[in-house]
């Protein structure tokens, strides 16, 4: 069974802490994505990566950075967590295609609370 | 980015068909239409996608209008396990999918 695994299901952090959210996929997918999901706002794309060491900003990159040192792993970093980053974070991956049959496989999500 | 419009919520009775509509009037010629659903406390899961022709798989059917400005996801016999938020998304050449707020489907026993 193919999988996208997010390292933590629930995290509680304090304002100003550095936070790492890890995502690993076992499908040899080229593309990986980080979304956040908030009530009434749907899923919003933070960053995505279409190759190792490559990254592109999504719709809401401010306050976040990412790292993709290996094909299977995509990390989301909050350099200094703030309360407005309390959210559900979702990682996804997909195989590279020439045109948009870009089928995503999502992880179960990481719910982050920043106090 | 091309956008989609869906109703905020819909209700269906168990074991009856459900037709979930989606409008995408600004769709471009190479945009695929994707549907995902999100069950409570889970990440979204892929349901179906298509380009021009109607598509069927074990989960659902996708009916695409001839002008491609709208589409309908069809669940042939709704079960209580189909209660979820359903997202209609356009996938073009940007390699990223933009999710809207989706349609909350309630299935009544």
Any bridge partners for residue A106, and if so which? Answer: A92
Q: Which residues of chain A form beta strands (DSSP E)?
A: 4-6, 10-13, 19-25, 31-38, 42-49, 56-57, 65-70, 73-78, 87-94, 105-106, 110-114
Q: Is the pLDDT of residue A69 over 90?
A: yes
Look up residue B90 and give its two tokens: 């356009």
Specify the higher pLDDT residue, B2 or B99. B99
Q: Is the pLDDT of residue A96 over 80?
A: no
Chain A within 8 Å of B102 (Cβ-Cβ)? yes
Give the DSSP letter of residue B5: B
Given a contact cutoff of 8 angstroms between Cβ atoms, the answer to whether A110 and A36 are in contact is no
Report pLDDT digits (tens) over B6-23. 999 999 999 999 999 999
CB contact under 8 A, B87 and A35: no
| Average pLDDT of the residues in A6-27 | 95
Q: Is the pLDDT of residue B4 over 80?
A: yes
CB contact under 8 A, A105 and B95: no
Give the DSSP letter of residue A53: T
Report pLDDT digits (tens) over B34-46. 999 999 889 999 9
Chain B positions touching A41 (Cβ under 8 A) are 101
CB contact under 8 A, B92 and A100: yes
Place of tokens 């100003």: A16
Q: Is the pLDDT of residue A4 over 60?
A: yes
CA distance A98 to chain B (A): 8
- How far, in Å, CA of B85 to CA of B39, rounded? 7
Report pLDDT digits (tens) over B19-71. 999 999 988 888 889 999 999 889 999 999 999 999 999 889 999 999 999 99
């Amino acid at each position: 069974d193919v999988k996208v695994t997010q390292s933590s299901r629930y995290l509680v952090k304090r304002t100003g802490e550095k936070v790492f959210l890890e995502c690993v996929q076992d499908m040899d997918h080229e593309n990986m994505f980080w979304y956040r999901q908030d009530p009434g706002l749907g899923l919003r794309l933070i960053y995505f990566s279409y190759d190792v060491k490559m990254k592109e900003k999504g719709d809401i990159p401010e306050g976040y950075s990412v790292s993709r040192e290996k094909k299977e792993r995509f990390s989301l970093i909050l350099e200094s967590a703030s309360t407005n980053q309390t959210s559900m974070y979702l990682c996804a991956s997909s195989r590279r295609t020439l045109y948009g049959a870009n089928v995503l496989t999502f992880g179960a999500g990481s719910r982050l609370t920043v106090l | 980015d091309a956008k989609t419009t869906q109703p905020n919520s819909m209700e269906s009775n168990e074991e009856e068909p459900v037709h979930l509509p989606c409008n995408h009037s600004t769709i471009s010629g190479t945009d695929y239409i994707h549907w995902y659903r999100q069950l409570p406390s889970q990440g979204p899961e892929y349901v179906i996608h298509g380009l021009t022709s109607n598509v069927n798989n074990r989960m659902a059917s996708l009916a695409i209008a001839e002008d491609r400005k709208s589409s309908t996801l069809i669940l042939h016999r709704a079960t209580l396990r189909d209660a979820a938020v359903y997202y209609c998304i356009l996938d073009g050449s940007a390699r990223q999918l933009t999710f809207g707020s989706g349609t909350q489907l309630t299935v009544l026993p």
